[in-house]
Amino acid sequence: MKKFLVINTSFFGDTLLTNPLCRNIEILYPDSHITFIVNKPFVEVATYCDGVDEVVAYDKKGKHHGVKGAWNFYQEYKEKFKLGFEAAFVIYGNERGIVLAKLFGAKKVYAENKGIINFLLDNPREIDYHGKTKVQTKNSILLEQYSKKAIRELPMKFIPPESSYDDIEVLLEGLNIQDNKLVAICTTSKKKEKDMPLKDCKELIQTLKSKGYTLLLLGAGNVAKEYGEELSKIAKDDFINLVDKTTIAQLGALLANCKALISVDTGTMHLGLAVDVPTVCLFYIHTKAHLDAWAPEKSLYRCEVLTENIKVENIVNSLRKIME
């Protein structure tokens, strides 16, 4: 059995965008074992991604912070990984991850890194991405460097556990939500310039409510919490505020129960795509380079991507289009 190591200690969406790499490994090497080292807050993301066998948390803001923390991580897991790995794939060329892969005995290490640490890698300095620009596809192409076989362009696939569906059923019953016309909206991200204007969200909610939908506001953290509080002042009882009300697994199950998701460019958008809910993707930042890297491929997902003229009318039309 071949053992592979995947290292990605970035954020929510980045973790999901690594899943097509894991799925490709599973297809090419069905009897393999994939260990995923992931940023601690996103352990649930990696755990329920298709193809992943084992997840290890890297606490980069806590005990594994900095160079000393990386060394502590190695000391913590060197016995567990003493048999090494057939190959390691380090996403975004993270130098700490490259060194750890070597320390854990990976026979081959693949990453996009053109710095001085490049000499530790087994791929060319210039990787041939065949003209592909999407992050998830470029992640998968790292496998080609090892397998010498073409990868498949696959969608992300997140599979919530059955317990999370039970939790969501209880949550919705507690909120007296019994209809099946749920539309989720995620309006905030890590960058304010990517967020939906409050007045547009109010208009969107009222428009969709008039069409018989129940609107669920999603999000996590202080920015989303403050947004929800401000929205409550102007949209009153027209929506249900579920900010910080679910775990990641429960959020996946909730989205799977929705008719659709409307989301700005953030991790929740990628999760919606990964559970195959029809998703309207709002890219308020729409430079060509950004869209080439992060906008989803319509050939892989049930989605509509809006970049310019992100007005309520266009969002509603896109929603109707993907739900037909």
CATH architecture group of domain 162-323 = 3-Layer(aba) Sandwich (3.40)
Q: Give domain limits for the chain.
A: 3-147, 162-323
Each of the 324 residues of the chain gets a pLDDT tens digit; together they read 999 999 999 999 999 999 999 999 999 999 999 999 999 999 999 999 999 999 999 999 999 999 999 999 999 999 999 999 999 999 999 999 999 999 999 999 999 999 999 999 999 999 999 999 999 999 999 999 999 999 999 999 999 999 999 999 999 999 988 777 999 999 999 999 999 999 999 999 999 999 999 999 999 999 999 999 999 999 988 999 999 999 999 999 999 999 999 999 999 999 999 999 999 999 999 999 999 999 999 999 999 999 988 999 999 999 999 988
CATH 3.40.50.2000 fits 3-147, yes or no: yes
Residue type, 205: I
Residue 18, phi then psi, degrees to nearest 5: -85, -15
Q: Residue 305: helix, strand or coil by DSSP? A: strand
First to last CA, the chain: 45
What pLDDT score does 150 carry?
97
* Sheet (strand 3-8) strand order: 54-58, 33-39, 3-8, 87-90, 109-110
Strand partners, 85: 106
What pLDDT score does 18 carry?
98
In which element (H, E) is residue 100 found? helix 95-103
Tell me whether the CATH fold assigned to 3-147 matches the one assigned to 162-323.
yes
pTM exceeds 0.85 for this model: yes
